[in-house]
Amino acid sequence: MAKPLALTSGEPAGIGPDIALEAWRRRGELDLPPFYLLGDRAFFAERAKILGLTIDLADAVPEEASAAFARALPVVATGEIATARPGQPDQTSATAALTSIRHAVDHVRAGRAGAIVTNPIAKSVLYRAGFRHPGHTEFLAELASDGGRVPQPVMMLWSPALAVVPVTIHLSLREALAQLSAELIVTTARIAVADLKAHFGLAQPRLAISGLNPHAGEDGSLGSEDIDIVAPAVEALRAKGIDARGPLPADTMFHAAARRTYDCAICMYHDQALIPIKTIAFEDAVNVTLGLPFIRTSPDHGTAFDIAGTGKANPSSLAAALRLAARMAATSVPPI
């Protein structure tokens, strides 16, 4: 039997608990693999009551989760209570969310879980509690380091219709331009290729590398960055045997016929990558962290405090994240 997935609680005041409960309730309809929820069982029982859901919750350890999943939602205790009301983070929120993530990493690294799926966190809540990382991804990278070298994580947004990787992520556009380099493009693309081979079953991933400027710089008349930075990166990738094309005009990369010519689009900055995928696949896009020594996926949305506890939260993206994590775990091959 495949190992269960470890699902973190996310921000307790957000919709993470809502969609976790609803996903398990609709597990057959959504074709979900076995997973367990990390956190405070009493809190999840109270949230189910607020939502008007009849959910059987079972105290479990990871090794028991798959067997229990058909009859009850397995909950693995983290030792931290949560008391936040929907939409109202409180003094327990940050500790509950972070402890859930730490336990998930411990479980997957010990071979007790097949992969990690993370519910949304509220970075503003964590920052007020002293959290010093830009977000989930960087925190997971530090946990993966075991005090040694911190791996470089790469964010991929994946859907059946499109997969995108931004080279620069949560930076202002000015700062993204300052940090963009041929070396960063090459490193990001190589990490993406390694994980596409290891976890997506692609023997020779095809990359489409976007230009930075309109029309990929129009031969330098609209900026020299595509000639000076992007084109050398593409040449370096090809020299390493990677199937890469570019720099390509970003405005013609994402229509249906163009998408059929590549497996992943490597884009220069956040919105260049995320606007097309959120337009094409808003409800089933999945956030995947590449470059870590374990599999991590996440729904591609935030905490949605305004609808937490109302029953309006849609579990579709979480369901897609769970299915993709299971698929990646099943497809995993040892690195060459």
Known binding-site residues equal 136-137, 170, 215, 270, 278, 287, 296
Other CB atoms within a 10 A radius of the CB of residue 248 amount to 22
Which residues are CB-contacts of 130 (< 8 A; sequence separation ≥ 6)? none
Binding-site members for substrate are 136-137, 278, 287, 296
SS3 73: strand
59 bridge partner residues: 75
DSSP-assigned states of every residue in 159-224: -SS-EEEESS-SS-HHHHHHH--HHHHHHHHHHHHHHHHHHH--SS-EEEEEPSSGGGGTTTTT-S
CA torsion angle 276 281 283 289 (round to 10): -70
> What's the one-letter identity of residue 43?
F
Q: Which residues are annotated as a binding site for a divalent metal cation?
A: 170, 215, 270
Three-point CA angle 213, 215, 218, nearest 5°: 90
Give, as one character, the DSSP assignment of residue 79.
S
